[in-house]
């Protein structure tokens, strides 16, 4: 019998060579040890694989939002958030309230600046007798309102300071579109760097000071000494009177400033949004405008027929010229939602007034569809801002004046959208490195109901495709 020096447990690998061993015994022992080691190595390998899978989880479904500035990327993201993470959407209400207040104040500033320009330049304060009846006229009463609204200038500064310190924002050297170049007031749009969690800043402030009247449901701090609600509320009637005054409306038309087409338009809801205890509705949040810079990633857990998957949605701000630089980092997306704000056919880029916005969108689309890194990605085109397109066409603005090739086709929503859809589809067909299905939707992404329907269908399609891919690989 052989004497083994055992370490006391049953692990075959812990066997120690016996002191006395025949040749046969040694061969048999080595064979056992070899088999045991192979089994153990196999188990280790399996465990490591399982750990790696656990760490990674099932692969997330990834969506990239693209489009020129103000095309509706962030608003589409808000729709995702409202559908799949309503808790976090609600938690941001306090922050959006500040943005909406700034949107209101900046719209009013546009009107006040238009009045100043009218006073200073081409338009006399007192209309001549020849002036047509019904055209604009700055009455002493309107000028008195203007004086009374001067505090809005300070409020604007305060709001910008609050947003920029919260989010490390930058004041962009771009103008908002307010009319022909020579009439442009010096209104600047602020932009927040998306890498910084500016939305939490307001809530953090509240928590830090442990305010007693903090309404946790809405996240709004009613005692905040910097909150401009009281001043906005006291200016409310003057703002409403100014915005509803026919002379002011005509002055804005004369200066080619269609306020209702501007981002962050709340002037038709002044009564409500300047109320002392105003709480933004979901729709208000979707209409709020805050420019973001850089790439931001948002995660959602989305379930379909029992299976829950991680989704990552990327919102990429920035200009056409940067596409080549970032495209290689986004070659593993399941889909790109490309937003084309087609109502912008009569507008120019804020960053370059020589470039028509629709033309810029076509150029960006061409770059995306022809990019080699993105050639395997599903492309979903949203022809967005259909509501604004409808009201523009109805007001007599003609597509053919900006897109000459449109010719004498009818100037209605159906014909213009069908024409533009064909143009986008044609570019995809011609420029795509490999054949791809052309998915296209007419959207108004501030309308949560219709957008929910479209995003929900998109979710099902992508889940199905993703499952098929996984099963094919497995
Ligand atoms: N009327 C209207 N406004 C829209 C639509 N889509 C976006 N907006 C507004 O346009 C502005 C710019 O949208 P945003 O999502 O911030 O554009 P982004 O720069 O591409 O992220 C916001 O004030 C939105 O509320 C739309 O379909 N109709
Ligand atoms: Mg944005």
Higher-scoring residue by pLDDT: 144, 38: 144
Provide the b/e sequence for 96-134 (b: ≥16 CB within 10 Å): bbbbbbbbbbbbbbbbbbbbebbeeeebeeebeeeeeee
Question: Which residue from 292, 443, 446 has its CB within 8 A of the most atoms of ligand 1, so it is best to mutate?
Answer: 446
Ligand 1 atom 19, closest CA: 70
Which residue, by CA, sits nearest to atom 18 of ligand 1? 70
Mean pLDDT of all residues in 318-331 = 76
Q: Residue 316: pLDDT above 70?
A: yes
Band of residue 166 on the pLDDT scale cut at 50, 70, 90: low
Kindly report which listed range (289-293, 302-306, 307-311, 321-325) carries the lowest average pLDDT score: 321-325
Q: Which one has a higher pLDDT value, 416 or 185?
A: 416
Ligand 1 atom, smallest distance to 263 CA: 23
More confident residue, 169 or 136: 136
Rounded distance between C-alpha atoms, residue 302 and residue 307, angstroms = 8
Q: Could you tell me if 82 and 448 are in contact, meaning their C-beta atoms sit under 8 angstroms apart? A: yes
Please say if the pLDDT value at position 201 is more than 60. no
Q: How confident is the model at residue 170 (pLDDT cuts 50, 70, 90)?
A: low
Q: What is the pLDDT of residue 18?
A: 67
- Which band of pLDDT confidence, cut at 50, 70 and 90, is reported for residue 7? very low
pLDDT for the residue numbered 308: 82
Is residue 146 annotated as involved in ligand binding?
Answer: no
Q: Kindly state the average pLDDT of the residues 380-387.
A: 97
Lowest mean pLDDT among 112-116, 163-167, 187-191, 400-404: 187-191
Residue 79 counted as an annotated binding residue:
no
Q: What is the mean pLDDT of residues 208-216?
A: 46
Pocket of ligand 1 (CB under 6 A): 67, 69-75, 263-264, 286-287, 289, 384-385, 387-388, 444-446
Most informative mutation of 75, 172, 292, 390 for ligand 1 (most atoms within 8 A of CB): 75
286 annotated to a ligand binding site: yes
Mutation pick for ligand 1 pocket among 80, 192, 263 (CB with most ligand atoms within 8 Å): 263
Q: Topology of domain 60-85+292-473, per CATH? A: Rossmann fold (3.40.50)
d(CA 369, CA 348): 23
* Cα-trace Rg, the chain: 31
Gap between the Cα atoms of 157 and 135, Å rounded = 33
Cα of 251 from ligand 1 centre, angstroms: 25
Of the ranges 2-16, 181-195, 269-283, which one carries the lowest mean pLDDT score? 2-16
Taking the CA of residue 71 as reference, the ligand 1 atom at the shortest distance is: 20
CA 211 to ligand 1 centroid distance, Å = 34
Query: Cα dihedral sign for 384, 191, 109, 273?
Result: positive
Q: Which ligand is closest in space to the CA of residue 343?
A: 1
pLDDT of residue 349: 87
Instruction: Give the mutation target among 66, 68, 70 for probing the ligand 1 site: most ligand atoms within 8 A of CB.
Output: 70
Residue nearest to atom 24 of ligand 1 (CA): 287
What confidence tier does 40 reach under pLDDT thresholds 50, 70, 90? confident
Consult the annotation and say whether 288 binds a ligand: yes
Percentage, residues of the chain above pLDDT 90: 49
pLDDT of residue 325: 77
The alpha carbon dihedral of 176, 179, 182, 186 has a sign of negative
Q: How confident is the model at residue 254 (pLDDT cuts 50, 70, 90)?
A: confident
Whether 455 shows a pLDDT value over 80: the answer reads yes
* Confidence grade of residue 304 (pLDDT, cut at 50, 70, 90): confident
pLDDT at 223: 77
The residue among 73 and 45 whose pLDDT is bigger is 73
Ligand 1 centroid – CA 445 distance (Å):
7
Atom of ligand 1 nearest to the CA of 67: 20
Q: Is 347 left (phi over 0), alpha (psi -120 to 50) or beta?
A: beta
pLDDT band at 12 (very low <50, low <70, confident <90, very high): very low
Average pLDDT over the chain, rounded to whole? 82
Choose the weakest-confidence range: 234-248, 266-280, 294-308, 391-405: 294-308
Answer yes or no: is 178 a known binding residue: no
166 to each of 61, 161, 188, 194, 205, how far by Cα in Å? 31, 8, 18, 12, 10
pLDDT band at 211; cut points 50, 70, 90: very low
Residue pair 280/102 in contact by the 8 Å Cβ criterion: no
Angle between helix 73-84 and 448-473 (nearest 10): 80
CA distance 244 to 268: 9
Question: What would the mean pLDDT of 423-442 be, rounded to a whole number?
Answer: 95
Indicate which residue's Cα is closest to atom 2 of ligand 1.
Answer: 385
- On the question of pLDDT at 293 being above 80, the answer is no
* 446 CA → ligand 1 middle, Å: 7
CA of 342 to the centre of ligand 1 (A): 12
**Among the listed ranges 38-52, 80-94, 325-339, 390-404, which one has the minimum average pLDDT value?**
38-52
Q: Which two tokens stand for residue 397?
A: 């603005």
**pLDDT > 70 in the chain, percent:** 78
Q: Which-ligand-closest: CA of 77?
A: 1
Token code pair at residue 317: 């701000």
Question: What's the average model confidence in pLDDT over 369-384?
Answer: 94
Q: Is 411 annotated as a binding residue?
A: no
Which has more confidence, 224 or 232?
A: 232
- Residue 125 C-alpha to ligand 1 middle, in angstroms? 36
Question: Is 267 annotated as a binding-site member?
Answer: no
Ligand 1 nearest atom to the CA of residue 103, by list position: 23
Query: How far, in Å, is the centroid of ligand 2 from the Cα of 205?
Result: 24
What is the pLDDT, as a whole number, of residue 55? 64
Consult the annotation and say whether 289 binds a ligand: yes
- Is 192 among the annotated ligand-binding positions? no
Lowest mean pLDDT among 4-13, 84-93, 312-321, 446-455: 4-13
Closest CA to 123 of 312, 131, 367: 131
| Pairing verdict, β 307-316 and 61-66 | parallel
pLDDT in the model for residue 197: 57
pLDDT at 171 over 60: no
pLDDT of 11 > 70? The answer is no
Q: Is the pLDDT of residue 216 over 50?
A: no
Lowest mean pLDDT segment, chosen from 44-53, 242-251, 369-378: 44-53
Cα(124) to centroid of ligand 2, in Å? 40
Residue of 364, 336, 370 lying closest to 439 (CA atoms)? 336
What are the φ/ψ torsions at residue 313 (nearest 5 degrees)?
Answer: -115, 125
Q: What is the pLDDT of residue 95?
A: 87
Atom of ligand 1 nearest to the CA of 77: 15
Mean pLDDT in residue range 360-385: 94
Identify whether the C-beta of residue 154 lies closer than 8 Å to the C-beta of residue 269. no
The predicted structure's pLDDT at residue 245: 95
């Amino acid at each position: 019998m052989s004497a083994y020096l055992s370490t006391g447990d049953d692990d075959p690998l812990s066997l120690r060579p016996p002191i006395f061993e025949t040749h046969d015994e040694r061969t048999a022992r080595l064979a056992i040890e070899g088999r045991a080691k192979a089994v153990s190595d196999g188990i280790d390998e399996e465990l490591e694989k399982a750990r790696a899978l656990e760490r990674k989880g099932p692969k997330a479904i990834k969506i990239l939002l693209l489009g020129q500035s103000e095309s509706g990327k962030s608003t589409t993201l808000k729709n995702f958030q409202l559908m799949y993470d309503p808790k976090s959407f609600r938690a941001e209400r306090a922050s959006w309230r500040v943005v909406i207040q700034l949107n209101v104040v900046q719209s009013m500033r546009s009107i006040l600046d238009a009045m100043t320009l009218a006073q200073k330049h081409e338009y006399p304060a007192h209309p001549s007798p020849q002036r047509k009846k019904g055209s604009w006229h700055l009455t002493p009463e309107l000028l008195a309102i203007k004086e009374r609204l001067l505090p809005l200038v300070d409020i604007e500064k305060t709001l910008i300071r609050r947003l920029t310190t919260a989010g490390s924002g930058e004041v962009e050297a771009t103008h908002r579109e307010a009319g022909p170049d020579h009439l442009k007031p010096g209104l600047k749009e602020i932009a927040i760097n998306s890498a910084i969690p500016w939305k939490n800043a307001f809530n953090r402030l509240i928590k830090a000071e442990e305010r007693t009247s903090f309404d946790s449901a809405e996240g709004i701090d009613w005692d905040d000494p910097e909150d401009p609600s009281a001043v906005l509320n006291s200016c409310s009637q003057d703002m409403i009177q100014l915005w509803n005054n026919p002379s002011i409306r005509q002055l804005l038309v004369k200066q080619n400033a269609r306020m209702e087409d501007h981002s962050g338009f709340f002037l038709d809801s002044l009564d409500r949004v300047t109320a002392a205890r105003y709480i933004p509705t979901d729709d208000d949040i979707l209409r709020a405008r805050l420019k973001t810079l850089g790439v931001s990633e948002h995660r959602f857990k989305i379930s379909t027929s029992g299976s829950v998957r991680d989704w990552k949605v990327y919102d990429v701000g920035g200009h056409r010229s940067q596409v080549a630089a970032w495209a290689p980092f986004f070659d593993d997306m399941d889909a790109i939602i490309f937003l084309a704000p087609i109502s912008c056919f009569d507008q120019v880029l804020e960053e370059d007034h020589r470039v028509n916005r629709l033309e810029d969108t076509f150029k960006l689309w061409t770059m995306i569809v022809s990019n080699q890194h993105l050639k395997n990605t599903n492309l979903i085109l949203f022809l967005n801002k259909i509501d604004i397109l409808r009201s523009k066409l109805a007001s007599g603005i003609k597509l053919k004046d900006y897109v000459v090739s449109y010719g004498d086709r009818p100037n209605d929503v159906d014909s213009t959208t069908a024409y533009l859809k064909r143009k986008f589809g044609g570019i995809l067909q011609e420029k795509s490195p490999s054949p791809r299905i052309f998915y296209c939707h007419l959207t108004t992404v501030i309308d949560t109901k219709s957008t929910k329907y479209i995003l929900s269908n998109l979710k099902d399609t992508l889940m199905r495709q993703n499952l098929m891919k996984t099963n094919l690989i497995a």
